[in-house]
């Protein structure tokens, strides 16, 4: 498995779903669909997405750090 970063390629909004898909070996479309379906349920999905947006490093910054 790769590290949890927001890739430059394949982003739609912030790259959170694309980064999660890359990390867990799933397709980005599948992760996006799961996220959209989860919005139908009560909870803090949007807040979790925003927190991941802030905490997940960009792919470029991650590459220069390691």
- Per DSSP, the residues of 12-64 read SSSSHHHHHHHHHT--HHHHHHHHHHHTTSSS-HHHHHHHHHHHSPBHHHHHH
Prediction pTM value: 0.80
Instruction: Tell me the pLDDT of the chain averaged across its residues.
Output: 88
| Residue 10 resides in a domain | no
pLDDT of 29 over the 70 cut: yes
Total number of domains in the chain: 1
- What average pLDDT does this structure show over 13-29? 93
- Of the candidates 38, 40, 39, 21, the one whose C-alpha atom is nearest the C-alpha of residue 30 is 21
Give the pLDDT band (50/70/90) at residue 8. confident
Give the domain extent around 60.
Answer: 16-65
């Amino acid at each position: 498995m790769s590290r949890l970063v927001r890739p430059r390629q394949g982003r739609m909004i912030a790259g959170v779903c694309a980064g999660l898909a890359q990390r867990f070996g799933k397709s980005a479309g599948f992760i996006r669909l799961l996220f959209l379906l989860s919005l139908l349920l009560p909870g803090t999905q949007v807040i979790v997405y925003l927190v991941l947006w802030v905490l997940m490093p960009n792919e470029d910054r991650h590459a220069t750090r390691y």
